[in-house]
């Protein structure tokens, strides 16, 4: 319907003998706990609606249509790199491409959010979901990564949703406030709910391995709704599957675990030995460091609402966090959650420059 940007023929242009330009990047060093320069900075949801360039492109395409086009994946992923020179790129995609690949019918409605047309609500329904033997329904992601790699000089972070968070959308059919259906199922038929989580974890492992093969240099797993779980529920229904995913990855690519509620669950997350943990803004990062020793990287954790503040306040708060984590070789500057869609680009630029001029 609309003309696509110049098609990319990435598979022809990658020189596999060449070491990636980003192999000694700040991000990858911080993920090994060995960065002695300034901390790297990237921001969750950096490739999204707060960018005017994104909103302009979005006028022409439906969101999922954008996720399906390798050239558009590359174009949007590059937008925050061009706008702010952040130290890492995050793949433009969504955690709900897995339910889509499972055939549940996913669409995104403006001002509503994601809708799953055929939610999953029983053990019988889980049994009909296919195993990840054929990933062709996700090949656009692989092609997007291949398209991006030759243009990128900073590491590319691939991602997926944590099984619990993805399950909550598959069960509720939309964004939920109380996770009533999810919790009712979890509590009344834990074994059936475990089958669902296991199926999503198997898909996530296959999907992340595909991203690794295609060239991502780090991964982040988003457990955006972990904060709805009680402590024991978190261990049984979320952490166990994060562990399964970490153990299922074919090659050792550093993985950052981010969950809302991480200030409560971080010590448990550290036990499964990810390369890094993304912290929400409720905790003090330097205090967290006392419980989570190096080389585990700590990522975060500026309150995303600080981006609404006057520019000098943004600078003050960024400097405060930089001072707090000064000299920590495993610190990655980020927000405690994603950038809100109505934040100004000037605010984001102020934040990034404040870190990069240190
Ligand atoms: O209307 C639009 O233009 C779509 C807005 C949008 C964008 C830009 C959505 C819809 N998803 C994305 C991209 C996206 N999603 C990225 C890549 C870009 C980047 O981070 O820079 C990533 C990593 C995600 C991950 C994602 N999707 C999460 C986990 C992260 C988080 O914020 O907690 C979740 C929960 C989703 C689901 C989702 N996708 C989009 C919406 C509106 C939602 C629902 C959020 C909710 O339920 O509150």
Q: Average pLDDT of each block of 10 consecutive residues along the chain (358 residues)?
A: 48 42 83 98 97 98 97 98 98 98 96 96 95 95 97 97 98 96 98 98 98 98 97 98 97 94 94 97 96 97 98 98 98 98 98 95
For residue 92 and ligand 1, the question of a CB distance below 6 A is answered with yes
pLDDT of residue 67: 98
Q: Which of 148, 86, 56, 14 is nearest to 349 (CA)?
A: 86
- H or E stretch covering 210: helix 190-214
For residue 336 and ligand 1, the question of a CB distance below 6 A is answered with no
Q: Ligand 1 mean position to 47 CA, how many Å? A: 10
d(CA 86, CA 25): 12
For residue 175 and ligand 1, the question of a CB distance below 6 A is answered with yes
Q: Which residues participate in catalysis according to the annotation?
A: 45, 49, 58, 94, 169
For residue 108 and ligand 1, the question of a CB distance below 6 A is answered with yes
Ligand 1 atom nearest residue 176's Cα = 47
Rounded to 10°, the helix 70-84/345-356 angle is 60
Ligand 1 atom nearest residue 54's Cα = 3
For residue 44 and ligand 1, the question of a CB distance below 6 A is answered with yes
Shortest-distance Cα residue to atom 12 of ligand 1: 94
Shortest-distance Cα residue to atom 2 of ligand 1: 63
Q: Ligand 1 mean position to 35 CA, how many Å? A: 30
What would the two tokens of residue 333 be? 């500057």
For residue 49 and ligand 1, the question of a CB distance below 6 A is answered with yes
Structure-token match 């205090």, residue found = 287
Ligand 1 atom nearest residue 220's Cα = 23
Q: Which of 187, 174, 151, 207 is nearest to 22 (CA)?
A: 151
- 3-state SS class at 34: coil
User: Are the C-beta atoms of 39 and 26 separated by less than 8 Å?
Assistant: yes
Shortest-distance Cα residue to atom 4 of ligand 1: 63
Q: Ligand 1 mean position to 51 CA, how many Å? A: 14
For residue 304 and ligand 1, the question of a CB distance below 6 A is answered with no
Q: Ligand 1 mean position to 94 CA, how many Å? A: 6
d(CA 77, CA 62): 16
pLDDT of residue 24: 76
Ligand 1 atom nearest residue 47's Cα = 21
For residue 341 and ligand 1, the question of a CB distance below 6 A is answered with no
d(CA 117, CA 330): 42
pLDDT of residue 251: 79
């Amino acid at each position: 319907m609309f003309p696509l940007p110049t098609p990319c023929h990435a598979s022809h242009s990658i020189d596999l003998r060449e070491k990636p330009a980003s192999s000694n990047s700040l991000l990858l060093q911080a993920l090994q706990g060995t960065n002695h320069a300034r901390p790297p900075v990237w921001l969750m949801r950096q490739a999204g609606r707060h960018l005017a360039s994104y909103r302009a492109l979005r006028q022409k395409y439906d969101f999922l249509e954008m996720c399906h086009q390798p050239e558009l994946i590359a174009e949007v992923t590059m937008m925050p790199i061009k706008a702010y020179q952040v130290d890492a790129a995050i793949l433009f995609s969504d955690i709900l491409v897995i339910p889509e690949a499972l055939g549940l019918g996913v669409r995104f409605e403006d001002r509503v959010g994601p809708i799953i047309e055929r939610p999953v609500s029983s053990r019988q329904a889980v049994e009909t979901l296919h195993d990840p033997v054929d990933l062709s329904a996700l090949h656009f992601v692989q092609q997007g990564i291949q398209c991006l790699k030759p243009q990128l000089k900073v590491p590319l972070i691939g991602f997926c949703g944590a099984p619990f968070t993805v399950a909550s959308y598959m069960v509720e059919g939309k964004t939920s406030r109380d996770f009533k259906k999810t919790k009712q199922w979890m509590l009344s038929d834990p074994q059936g709910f475990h089958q669902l989580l296991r199926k999503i974890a198997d898909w996530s492992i296959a999907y992340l391995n595909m991203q690794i093969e295609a060239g991502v240099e780090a991964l982040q797993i988003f457990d955006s709704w972990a904060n709805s779980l009680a402590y024991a529920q978190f261990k049984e229904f979320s952490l166990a599957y994060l562990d399964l995913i970490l153990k299922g990855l074919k090659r050792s690519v550093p993985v950052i675990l981010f969950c809302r509620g991480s200030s409560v669950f971080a010590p448990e997350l550290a036990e499964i030995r990810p390369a890094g943990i993304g912290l929400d803004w409720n905790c003090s990062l330097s205090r967290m460091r006392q419980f989570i020793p190096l080389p585990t990287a700590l990522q975060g954790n500026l309150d995303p609402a600080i981006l609404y503040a006057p520019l000098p306040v943004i600078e003050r708060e960024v400097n405060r966090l930089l001072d707090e984590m000064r000299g920590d070789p495993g610190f990655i500057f980020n927000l405690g959650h994603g950038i809100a869609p109505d934040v100004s680009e000037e605010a984001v630029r102020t934040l990034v420059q404040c870190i990069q001029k240190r």
